[in-house]
Structure 1
């Protein structure tokens, strides 16, 4: 759906050489350092382009993770520690990553788990951009629609794994409000991915003229998800999240309008014209709210780190809703005047419908197996004494700060933003009845 999705900027990071000291010139250990550097570079480069092949990006990410896992877990290389204990290499390297909402000042952690979380987060954001790229075409066939749906489910699964499994493994769990590690931000991203995947389902259901009760239920559930996403970030700094939050609110109002529109159609089929008219009046109310929010969204400036704004009210799917509500309401009024003579109730029919089909759950994300270059010999070859000394951030936080910062650190310098390739949008309306684009 051209210009239908709001997208935040990719995270930014500094380069890593992985040029680490070795006790001995163990060939596999040398190869590990070289492979880590090149695999990371290739994965990050692929993710700058939303049109990159999804399978290639997935394979490259998993290749890098299979190498990185030797820095995360012990894997029984040291007999004194279990396979899921921390690797002796975990705190070898400092990693710097920006947050998708907070600009160019990076968060710095000397923790390979932080690197694992950050690269996976980047992948999840890329998946949403790849989906937007696929949806930007004037007409989408079923295969492209399925890929859009799959990308959003995969992104939700990656973010869910970060939230439920990996964040709790961090040694330093503190974060700035609005950072990507903030549970409110992760929750908003997950809900956004699930809700947008359900948008694909709704589009398909409308195009195939499925039962209006099902369409109404799906639209209602989707509206609730967008509203929950807005609630998750509501307390954060409005200069960082106002545009993103307004996007959630307008999508919520839009799908609530759809829910009441199709509820009205369902009630008309049941010959409950009075209730149908009242439901359609409610649909008109939520459409007006969504239109006002679209105008507010346009006025709001995106944060300095960029991202991609949406043009919801220009899209045919949005423009088709108002005349659809009017046609359905006019039909109800005519039928009621000629046949049923029902009183239009003061109270609106309640959307108590629960969708039985089409609800989206995140696709489970799991780590790849450890790369074959990791052996007890290659693990032992790394020389801890000659590499970066790790300072436990929990002890560091107890020290008194000075003029340089709270813990005596020099403030981090901004790092360059990712040179993202733009999503190529089509301005051509879909050539179908609903304006949903899904063929």
Structure 2
């Protein structure tokens, strides 16, 4: 089930909320049956957009780095879920190694690592941190603003195993909190005697957003049929192009064709549901996690007016990783109706194994409802449990778990990630059943 957490929503339930809350027993059974066939990622997070008429994921992260943004009261849930996840891969686990981003000095990210370490230590595991950074040759203590400290140690390769401290720390499970945007290091290649989570092919060196979205199409189509719902209400339309060149404008016709096709489908749905909003599309990289480099278009004509500096930013980011500079994803934009203290907000759902363990709001006073909230101006507000004393009988909205639909859509995206990893696994025989 999904914890009953606060949301910014009040008043009458939307049709999507009503449908999901009325179908809770069916939905939970559906998920149980799906997890008999698929293995969830060790952990994941999903950014959502609630437009009122539509509730959909806009990003699925397999290396979540915002555990410090969860409410403190969520940690028992997270610990229980982490224990179930670890036991699935290594029932007799004693030691666990976390590999964070290489020598990151971002204090917010490091607090995330500290919280993640805390969750895993509460499961009874010995947890240590390691890095393959070339300039790390001895253990390095990092002080955090909270007063805590982290010790980062150099990784060692002993045959087919990764160890620390001259082999004295030998983990059965290695947890990556590094999305491999800098590539797959040699030291992590061909590990056969330990469990690496997520697997290497989940990193942005090889991962493509379009593959995930196609898996999500498959999941949502099946789910929506099961509960008798239009899948579009939970799923943005999308397309991809790989030949556009911002310098020469080569294949601009292909890009324009895809934009026109997606707009046509969105406009048809808006007309079907009587939606007065003006639709928009988002163009972003298909090949890495860089949603701060994206463009918004409101018509096909906007393609000819685009600021091509943005295209160059996407291309440069891709080329720095040795990726196709021209892999673009065109995705239906989903506005957010939610605000926090009159600031634009969007919910983020956090999961460990197949369980929702909490969430928070990403907030940005400098961005509008149709814009990405990911920028230096963003902030976060943790979502805590709704207390019985806070539920008022005269407010229909607070009588229900309004976070539940967010948890459902988050788990649909997580299930899609499971299919995605299965389909892209270079060694499918190694999958955990």
TM-score after normalising by structure 2 = 0.28
Which structure's CA Rg is the greater one? 1
Greater fraction of residues in strand:
2
